[in-house]
Amino acid sequence: MDNRSEIREFLTSRRAKISPHQAGLPSYGTRRVPGLRRTEVAQLAGVSVEYYSRLERGDLSGVSDQVLDALARALRLNDAERTHLEDLARAAGPGPRRRRRPTPDQVRPSVQRLLDSMTGAPAFVMNGRGDVLAANALGRALYAPMFDAARGATPNHARFIFLDARSHLFWGDWERAADDTVALLHGQAGRDPYDKDLTDLVGELSTQSEDFRTRWARHDVRQHHLGAKPFHHPVVGDLHLTYESMDLPADGLTLVAYGTEPASDSEDKLRLLASWAATLDTAGPQQEQTPPSRRG
């Protein structure tokens, strides 16, 4: 990734999102472009126009924490955007370009055992590029369409969402899933702009998906620690699952686990999914696509 380009486009896109009225500034006449002018951001941040122009040209090298704080306030950055700005500044810092320690391409046996012990919850471990490096049986069953699309390769959330038509049926809210996935990739680009695998992934998706290109140009970043997601599973139908994500600091990876509301229809369907997953090793090709019957 081009760090200077990322900085320039991120700051420009954030500036375009804020109107003078939102910033508490007077506005006169019609503006040719949306959002604040550079002079107004500089005024709000308490820096000179020349200095802010340098920052927006992509040069964050040597910028102080105080200036970053002032810039975050002026641009009304949320927590995820503020962290992204700090990551971009860190990557632009003085000294030789040092890539972060590469994340592993497989999980430690103890992590896999942890996943396998979670028999009642779909769970998987992924890296910052959205590669699913490991999953438990219920996690593989839940994401069966994505694992199938990977054809034996490492499943990747972004490739499935933007390059496989089945993703539109699988995700109950495809637009949101697409937005969230691109936002996660932008966050990873800020943390490690020298990740060649990420650069290759973004290049692949940019050349093959207009939906991806449009979202990538927005430079949105988000944090996803908890929430809810709707699915339409080809075997058990509609599911509404809550999720929690937990960092694995020793590996630079993230563990994601899903659950349901007690006594809900989704809880019942998750049990059905677990029963279906348990038959996959022994069922024939015709049986694998036949869901177990529901009780009641």
**Is residue 193 in some structural domain?**
yes
The answer on 197 and 58 residing in a single domain is: no
Give the separation between CA 20 and CA 35, rounded to whole angstroms: 7
Query: Over the range 89-120, which residues count as b (16 or more CB within 10 Å of their CB) and which as e?
Result: bebbeeeeeeeeeebeeebeeebbebbeebee
Residue 267 belongs to some domain of the structure: yes
**Of 91, 124, 144, which closes a domain?**
91
Q: Which of 42, 60, 91 is the last residue of a domain?
A: 91
- Residue 98: inside a domain: no
Strand order in the sheet with 253-259: 132-135, 123-126, 253-259, 237-248, 226-233
Q: List, run by run, the mean pLDDT of 10-residue segments along the chain (296 residues).
A: 86 91 78 85 93 92 91 93 92 61 82 93 95 96 95 94 96 96 92 90 96 94 88 95 93 94 92 87 45 44
Q: Is residue 132 within 8 Å of 143, Cβ to Cβ? A: yes
Same domain, residue pair 205 and 261? yes
Counted domains in the chain: 2
Tokens in use for 138?
């219920």
Q: Based on the domain organization, do 278 and 134 belong to the same domain?
A: yes
| Paired tokens of 278 | 């348990």
Instruction: Note whether residue 295 is domain-resident.
Output: no
Q: Please give the pLDDT value at position 96.
A: 46
Instruction: Report the CATH number that the domain containing residue 38 is assigned in CATH.
Output: 1.10.260.40
Same domain for 261 and 190, yes or no, is yes
The verdict on 225 and 281 lying in the same domain is yes
Same domain, 129 and 11: no
- Residue 250 sits in a domain of what CATH number? 3.30.450.180
Instruction: Judge if 65 and 208 occupy the same domain.
Output: no
Q: Same domain for 81 and 130?
A: no
Query: Which of 91, 118, 147 delimits the end of a domain?
Result: 91
Q: What is the pLDDT of residue 67?
A: 93
Q: Which residues contact 67 (CB under 8 A, 6 or more apart)?
A: 45, 47
- Domain containing 159: what range? 109-288
Whether residues 125 and 67 share a domain: the answer is: no
Residue 172 lies in a domain: yes
Is the domain of 162 the same as that of 219?
yes
Q: Is 192 within the bounds of a domain?
A: yes
Q: Confirm if 132 and 126 have CB atoms less than 8 A apart.
A: yes
Question: pTM for the whole thing?
Answer: 0.82
Together in a domain, 53 and 118: no
Please indicate, yes or no, if residue 11 is contained in any of the structural domains: yes
Q: Answer whether residue 117 is part of any domain.
A: yes
In this structure, the answer to whether residues 185 and 279 fall within a common structural domain is: yes
